[in-house]
């Protein structure tokens, strides 16, 4: 009997590892499904009136809020240039509070900016594209990304990288307005509100 004990313990360890792996996988799948359905509650119309923008830009204040910010080298962009804009989680947010999935909808002026690309940042070592919809005529960006299975938290807080061509015919001030901005993480109180203000740019 004593000779069989190590084998029994090894079998139990393997069984526990398999169960934990399956539970984590199921949790991430449910999380992706949950945030995707939560995002669907916000229906963004093709034509946005000032009132609709204000309503959509006012998220549920009862949810936990994580400070999030726009980042660019300069808020003064030269017309005819190509510029990078990043949405990142604030350094104030503790590592164990970082989200495992997020959904963001942005509104921009298509007569001033032309979107070249929208890509997930390095907040996770690997990510899944849950949804990515671009309406260039309406100036709408709708993206949802989730942390990939077996991925880890990345070395940066970058959530989303945007690249724009500046096409404004004359010098002007333009604004990028966050509409739907939600996130989630595995565990208790999984739904989160991303605290992200509108971002103003000077096009010269």
For residue 132, report the phi and psi dihedrals to the nearest 5 degrees. -150, 105
- pLDDT of 150: 86
Place of tokens 């017309």: 79
Q: What percent of the chain has pLDDT over 90?
A: 50
- pLDDT of 97: 86
Is the pLDDT score of 201 beyond 90?
yes
C-alpha of 53 from chain center: 19
- Kindly list the structural domains of the chain, giving each domain's residue range(s) and its CATH number in brackets, ordered by start: 5-203 (2.60.40.680)
Report pLDDT digits (tens) over 53-84.
Answer: 444 444 445 677 889 999 998 889 999 999 99
- pLDDT of 30: 52
Report pLDDT digits (tens) over 149-159.
Answer: 888 999 999 99
- What is the spatial distance between Cα 115 and Cα 139, in angstroms, rounded to a whole number? 8
């Amino acid at each position: 009997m004593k000779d069989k004990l190590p084998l029994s313990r090894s079998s139990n360890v393997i069984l526990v590892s398999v169960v934990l792996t399956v539970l984590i996988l199921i949790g991430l799948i449910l999380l992706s499904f949950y945030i995707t359905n939560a995002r669907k509650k916000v229906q963004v119309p093709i034509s946005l009136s000032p009132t609709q923008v204000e309503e959509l830009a006012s998220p549920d204040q009862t949810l936990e809020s994580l400070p999030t910010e726009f980042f660019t080298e300069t808020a003064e962009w030269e017309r005819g240039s190509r510029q990078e804009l990043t949405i990142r989680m604030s350094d104030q947010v503790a590592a164990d509070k970082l989200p495992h999935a997020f959904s963001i909808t942005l509104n921009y002026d298509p007569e001033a900016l032309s979107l070249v690309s929208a890509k997930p940042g390095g907040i996770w070592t690997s990510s899944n594209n849950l949804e990515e919809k671009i309406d260039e005529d309406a100036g709408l960006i709708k993206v949802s990304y989730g942390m990939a299975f077996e991925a880890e938290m990345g070395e940066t807080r970058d959530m989303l990288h945007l690249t724009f061509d500046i096409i404004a015919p004359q010098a002007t001030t333009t604004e990028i307005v966050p509409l739907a901005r939600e996130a989630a993480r595995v565990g208790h109180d999984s739904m989160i509100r991303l605290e992200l203000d509108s971002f103003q740019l000077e096009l010269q």
